[in-house]
Structure 1
Amino acid sequence: MKVIIIGAGVGGTSAGIALQRLGHEVVIYDQMRENKPVGAALSLWSNGVKVLNWLGLGAEVAALGGRMDEMAYLDGHTGEMMTRFSLEPVTRQTGQRPYPIARAELQGLLMERFGVDSIHLNKKLVGIDDDGAVVTASFADGSTDTADLLLGADGARSFTRDYVTGGLEGAPRVERTYSGYTNYNGLVAVDEAIGAADAWTTYVADGKRCAVMPVGGGRFYFFVDVPQPSGLAYDRADGKAPLEEAFAGWAPGVQALVDAIRPEESLNRVEIWDVDPFDTWVRGRVALLGDAAHNTTPDIGQGACSALEDSFALGIVFATNTLGVEDSLERYRRVRADRAGDLVLRARKRAWETHAFDPEATAAWYAQLRAEDGSGVIRGIVGNIEGSPVNLGGGLLP
């Protein structure tokens, strides 16, 4: 069977590896001119890491990932410790340590394992035709390719999604919703003045969040949330000026982070949007995965993990079902749509609670953190993992 995948991100390349391992011919197309991953790093919780283990990448991912043993929340204004606790229960209950990891390094690993010769860049998808026997993909440069099925891993602004949901023929398009905040992220050297080298440290106040996670190579991945309207003007030349303004007077650890940021080296600014859950993931021999199917906010750290779950489900479905492409894709949709949509809504709820869109709810959360022994946060993290298809129904150990 030949498979075309549109999109060379984490979802597309991991799905490509999964299907290659079953003996299928897979080719990936992406409109980017060169491999420049969006975002500095990502959090791979146990469910995402397990998929990478299943793909044969466990040792490499462990080597690239940061060692994150603890989690801490601090008052953003004073630097006072609100709560600090071990993340060991997550590892013990789920059977796998989580790893924050630099996105470019994970992306490079996945592309290399898939095979860079089978990844074609600067290819913008402009047409899909499914005659019931083969799918034809048409690109802006006039080229075409055909395959037995096409997977759209082409991101939040997915062309494939418009095809699958009928948006190209006049049906209402699946639209994104602004979450209410802008995220700044990047990489800086580990500095104990900011947070412990083996901890996920987060400063919170006024609905804002300033956090660091350890990734490989003695670096922190920082991600900073500023609630604000969408569409505000920003020029790359502005650098970190918006952060200096938003966090003026905050705790010394936050000032140390802002001081450490080198915009010319690593600083991304991203407005955070998501998509209402929908279940029209499949149309004939064409299916969606990753952000094209379940674009989410990063508030529970499950975006990349959910895309990896898609790849796992696709691999299992095509390894075990034999009634044809359309049947297998529909089974994949049934495995994934409800679970992925639930994570989107959980992340949206979390964003609402933590960014002071409901000031009373956010104040209550801050008060809860001050009384937290870790069990409540651990319960939430594990709750996001326990329904993963990678657990194969085995659940979690107590």
Structure 2
Amino acid sequence: MQGLKAIVIGAGIGGLTAGIALRKAGYEVEIYDRVQELRPVGAGISLWSNGVKVLNWLGLGREIAQIGGRMARMEYRWLDGRILNDIDLAPLVQSVGQCPYPVARADLQAILLQAFDGTVNLNHCCVEIEQTDRQVTARFENGHCATGDLLIAANGVRSNLREYVLGQPFHPNYAGYVNFNGLVAASADLAPSQTWVVYVGQHQRASMMPVANDRFYFFFDVPLPLEAGANPAGVKAELQHHFQGWAEPVQRLIDGVDPQATARLAIHDMGPIDRLVKGRVALLGDAAHTTCPDLGQGGCQAMEDALVLAQCLVTTNVGVEDALQLYERQRRDRVSAVVRKARQRAEMIHGKDPQVTQQWYDQLATEDPLEVTGAIAKTILGGPLH
């Protein structure tokens, strides 16, 4: 179907990737976002090989390699620094055919914005959708209207367009923990340069991953009640309290964080849902399947959505609605499985059942590294690009 016009609501990872994929297919694309300035939520993201392959398919392989950290190993350590497991990632790369790339979100957003050869219209909050059997119209709070052949709702976990597709409200679920994340300069006294290090204990995590320009993307996970507010003394005081007595590299990391540039996010997920499409409107990314970050698959699944959506539109000539139904059929089971698996892993890691979390700690100390990389490969290879 040539000559189509797509309206994309949301200029995050999913919306921009969809815009690039549809422009690559020859479609006219207009992207809108409600924010006045594009600022990534969170400092970094782990792009596993399935997400990287989508970017390769879009012609961005060189760009993603330039901003991606080289990650050759994973280390799990107990909170006092004792090694639990040392995992060589080479078997994973050999199995799936592509290395993963941890990246700074701002760097990723920059290459996606540069690759999208169109205009991203900011300060446009979509408040209403209308569609006929031939077109769909987005109406914005500022009075602007945009009409096209299809509309992609990629406006995140708090999407106000999800209810239009589902016919009822469907709200995010609190995953039970708060995530602190940011970027710091890489140094050997924090972690080896090409190693993802994860300290675990007390149902918490402290982690560092290499990204480009000699930096580590770090995150801390702390199970907290949803109503728990930030420590008025600041991020460092809060982290020092929660990670008191942890290994020296964790203490150095806390000392080195920039409080003004450290995000504090209450983690939510959303789904599974039973439909992704209504007529000429399709949900994509977090609007359809917000995923706990414990599998590193949130951004990757949005990228897979964009790829499959574009392929369905290109290869189906019956009509837009038929192509979107095909998109739904190809994605619904995949994203539902990832949402469930990520939620189960989040609960296991963060002490929803302390006995289960202790069993995980015990498993880390004895698990064959090939079993770890095999489980990651299984998730990666479940996507559209093998």
TM range (shorter): over 0.9
Which one of the candidate residues 144, 163, 182 is aligned to 1:186? 182
Q: Deviations over 1:142-178 (max 9, x none)?
A: 11110111000000011221111113xxxxx111111
Cα distance in 2, alignment partners of residues 273 and 310 from structure 1: 20
Map of 2:205 onto structure 1: 209
Map of 2:126 onto structure 1: 125
Which one of the candidate residues 256, 267, 270 is aligned to 2:265? 270
Map of 1:112 onto structure 2: 114
Cα distance in 1, alignment partners of residues 365 and 166 from structure 2: 45
Which one of the candidate residues 226, 235, 245 is aligned to 1:230? 226
Q: Give the counterpart letter for 1:305 in structure 2.
A: C
Which one of the candidate residues 235, 238, 242 is aligned to 1:246? 242
Which 4+ residue blocks in structure 1 deviate beyond 3 angstroms? none
Q: Give the counterpart letter for 1:181 in structure 2.
A: Y
Displacement of 1:276 after TM fit?
A: 2.5
- Structure 1's 3 and 237: CA in aligned 2 closer, same or farther, altered over 3 A? farther
Cα distance in 2, alignment partners of residues 376 and 174 from structure 1: 36
Map of 2:103 onto structure 1: 101
Matched, 1:166 2:161: no
Root-mean-square deviation over aligned CA pairs: 1.1
Matches within 5 A, 1:75-86: 75-76=78-79, 78-86=80-88
Note if contact 2:271-2:288 (Cα within 8 Å) is conserved in structure 1: no
Cα distance in 2, alignment partners of residues 15 and 235 from structure 1: 39
- State the aligned residue count: 383
Displacement of 1:345 after TM fit?
A: 0.4
Q: Give the counterpart letter for 2:196 in structure 1.
A: W
Displacement of 1:190 after TM fit?
A: 0.7
Cα distance in 1, alignment partners of residues 227 and 193 from structure 2: 35
Which one of the candidate residues 66, 70, 75 is aligned to 1:72? 75
Cα distance in 2, alignment partners of residues 42 and 15 from structure 1: 18
Cα distance in 1, alignment partners of residues 322 and 368 from structure 2: 47
Cα distance in 2, alignment partners of residues 323 and 206 from structure 1: 55
Cα distance in 1, alignment partners of residues 178 and 297 from structure 2: 18
Q: State the identity as a percent.
A: 47
- Structure 1's 141 and 58: CA in aligned 2 closer, same or farther, altered over 3 A? same
Displacement of 1:236 after TM fit?
A: 7.8
Map of 2:292 onto structure 1: 297
Cα distance in 1, alignment partners of residues 275 and 198 from structure 2: 37
Q: Give the counterpart letter for 2:329 in structure 1.
A: R
Note if contact 1:17-1:114 (Cα within 8 Å) is conserved in structure 2: yes
Displacement of 1:328 after TM fit?
A: 0.1
SS at match of 2:198: strand
SS at match of 1:220: strand
Note if contact 2:236-2:255 (Cα within 8 Å) is conserved in structure 1: no
Displacement of 1:308 after TM fit?
A: 0.5
Q: Give the counterpart letter for 2:383 in structure 1.
A: S
Note if contact 1:84-1:373 (Cα within 8 Å) is conserved in structure 2: no
Q: Give the counterpart letter for 2:91 in structure 1.
A: P
Q: Deviations over 1:207-255 (max 9, x none)?
A: 0000010000000000110001002222786232211110011111110
Map of 2:141 onto structure 1: 140
Q: TM-score w.r.t. structure 1 length?
A: 0.94
Matched, 1:386 2:381: yes
Cα distance in 2, alignment partners of residues 360 and 333 from structure 1: 38
Q: Deviations over 1:165-202 (max 9, x none)?
A: 113xxxxx111111110000000011222211100100
Note if contact 1:312-1:390 (Cα within 8 Å) is conserved in structure 2: no
Which one of the candidate residues 20, 24, 37 is aligned to 1:21? 24
Cα distance in 2, alignment partners of residues 373 and 199 from structure 1: 18
Map of 2:307 onto structure 1: 312
Map of 2:171 onto structure 1: 175
Q: Structure 2 unaligned runs (5+)?
A: none
Q: Give the counterpart letter for 1:64 in structure 2.
A: I
